[in-house]
Amino acid sequence: MMTKHGYEDVSVKDIRKELMSLGVKDEDLLSQRKKPLVELLTKTKNKYVLPPDEDDDILYNIEFSDDEDGNILDAVDTESLKEEESKGLVRPAFNSEKWSEWVVSQFADEELENGAPTCDGLRRVTENVLGPIEKVEIIKNDTPNVNNKGNATVVVGVTISRVLLEGHPRHGSYIYVEDLADANKLNTPEEIFKHPSATAGTRAESRVYRKMLRLRKVLTAEELASNESTLEEEWSPSTPITEQQITVIDMLCKRTNMNISDFINCGDSKYVCVEQVSEQSAQKMLQYLNRIQRKDAERPDDVGEYDENWKVKNDDTREENFSKRV
């Protein structure tokens, strides 16, 4: 008796889509019938995980269905999808209300600096979410000189060869985005101003990925570094926590299984809701959360477990307390 391959109910169209998502672009290969397509897909998916010379053996003793019009959705566990969606694990629609929050959750701990994604992290997430980066190029590079008062300005262009994300307006086509950034002694920490053009280039590249990923109200780590020198002048006690900071505090507390309300209130200051936290205090909280993740700091005492419904409770508490003052 032949072994089933798991694609009996999957249509040829969907198999071709999966092959293209794995980088198969040869039209002759993709025009084949179901049996050779499944063989190709199986081999492509397993060539990175099977030991040498073992991937050929997997192609034999396979039973194929005569029906090539099966619906891939028949094999989907819709109840599991609903459960995952309720937990926020399912990717939202591109550029939707929850999109930025989901994208930020895709960064690894070491790819965030005080809650802001680094250029390396942005590059990795962009490729994972949108598609392969074909080219990163310097379009313009104005080096520091006397005439521009020591300011380096760099324009970077990035090309994604083919957008693989379904629902993206450019799905199946390419994307090209460019942006510019500058670096000078006023907006760059002294320790990295030794290479102003490289710094400006990294900032510009980060801005391109931020645009490509449609990240709203999110600054990159490189952009935040450009504001450090003027932070004391711009900050005031009334500056509230940003939405980006709230999103990252939520993400880090979820990863470390800590109750958000307990965490923000474990210091000397007490808050009715997260919106009462100042931007400067939120930055210190993020630094501490990063240290906890790296095992460089202990988890605070009396902090409960993460609550999936904390936002609803936070909003209810905020509304209740502020409505009493009106």
Question: pLDDT by residue (tens digit) across 53-89?
Answer: 333 333 333 333 334 333 333 333 444 444 444 444 5
Range of the domain at 128: 99-228
* Mean pLDDT (the chain, rounded): 78
What is d(CA 1, CA 113) in angstroms, rounded to the nearest whole number? Answer: 56
Give domain status of residue 274, yes or no.
Answer: yes
Q: Where are the alpha helices (DSSP H) in 1-46?
A: 12-21, 27-30, 34-46
Same domain, 224 and 123: yes
Give domain status of residue 234, yes or no.
Answer: no
What is d(CA 116, CA 114) in angstroms, rounded to the nearest whole number? Answer: 6
Give domain status of residue 247, yes or no.
Answer: yes
Reference 300, options 311, 309, 292; nearest CA is: 292
Same domain, 251 and 208: no
Distances (CA, A) of 74 to 6, 29, 69: 12, 26, 12
Q: Report whether 41 contacts 20 (CB < 8 A).
A: no
Report residue 2 as tokens: 């032949």
Using DSSP's 3-state secondary structure scheme, residue 177 falls into strand
Give domain status of residue 83, yes or no.
Answer: no
Give domain status of residue 264, yes or no.
Answer: yes
Q: Which of 5-9, 106-110, 207-211, 297-301 has the lowest mean pLDDT?
A: 5-9
Same domain, 128 and 151: yes
For the chain, first and last CA: distance in Å?
Answer: 76
Give domain status of residue 59, yes or no.
Answer: yes
Where a domain ends, among 195, 228, 261? 228
Same domain, 108 and 193: yes
Same domain, 252 and 220: no
pLDDT of residue 69: 39
Same domain, 105 and 217: yes
Same domain, 224 and 105: yes
Give domain status of residue 220, yes or no.
Answer: yes
Question: pLDDT by residue (tens digit) across 246-258?
Answer: 888 998 898 889 9
Where a domain ends, among 39, 74, 109? 74
Q: Report whether 94 contacts 215 (CB < 8 A).
A: no
pTM tops 0.85, yes or no: no
Neighbours of 279 (CB within 10 A): 17
Same domain, 134 and 224: yes
Same domain, 53 and 120: no
The confidence band for 45, taking pLDDT boundaries of 50, 70 and 90, is low
Give domain status of residue 57, yes or no.
Answer: yes
Catalogue the E-assigned strands of the chain: 3-4, 62-63, 112-113, 116-117, 133-142, 152-160, 175-183
Domain count, the chain: 3
What is d(CA 97, CA 200) in angstroms, rounded to the nearest whole number? Answer: 31
What is d(CA 138, CA 151) in angstroms, rounded to the nearest whole number? Answer: 17
Q: Report whether 12 contacts 34 (CB < 8 A).
A: yes
The confidence band for 46, taking pLDDT boundaries of 50, 70 and 90, is low
Same domain, 109 and 211: yes
